[in-house]
Amino acid sequence: MSAPTTPASPDVIICPGGPMLLRGDHLVADDDGVEHRTTRPISAVCRCGKSATKPWCDGTHKVIPEKHRP
């Protein structure tokens, strides 16, 4: 009997209406070209443009109108 297969998981996950999840160690350049190194095993990168902690998500997408969410 072979072991059950678990499909390989992606390193980048786009969350509908929310951030982009990024697995692993990366340098992320923000709007102004400033580079930020990830500090967590998995990071959430802002896609709505409204985060106060850009380039990282701070959950602000949840309080903007649905039509303006990514």
Partner 1 sequence: MAVLPKPRGPLSEALIAALVCGSVEAIAVRPGSSEDAALTLWTLYEMSYRGYDGVDDRLEFEPELVRVRRELEDDLERRLRERWPGRPSYDDGFAAAFFAMIEADDGPSLARFVQREATAEQAIELLQHRSLYHLKESDPVALTLPRLPAAPRAALAELQYDEYGGGRPERLHAHLFAEGMAALGLDATEGGYVDEAPVEVLEQNNAMSLFGLNRRLRGASVGHLAAFEATSSLPCRKMAQGLERLGFPQEIREYYEEHVEADAVHEQLAARLICEPLIAAEPDTEDDVWFGAWTCLDLESRIARHLLERWDAA
Under the rule (CB under 8 A), what is the footprint of partner 1?
A: 4, 6, 9, 13, 15-19, 21, 23, 39-44, 52-53, 56-60, 62-63
Residue 39 burial (C-beta neighbours within 10 Å; 0-12, 13-18, 19+): exposed
The least CB distance from residue 64 to partner 1, in Å, is: 12
- Which of residues 35 and 40 has its CB atom nearest to partner 1 in the complex? 40
Contacts of 34 (CB under 8 A, 6+ apart): none
Joined tokens for residue 22: 């990024």
- In the complex with partner 1, the residue whose CB is nearer, 40 or 68, is 40
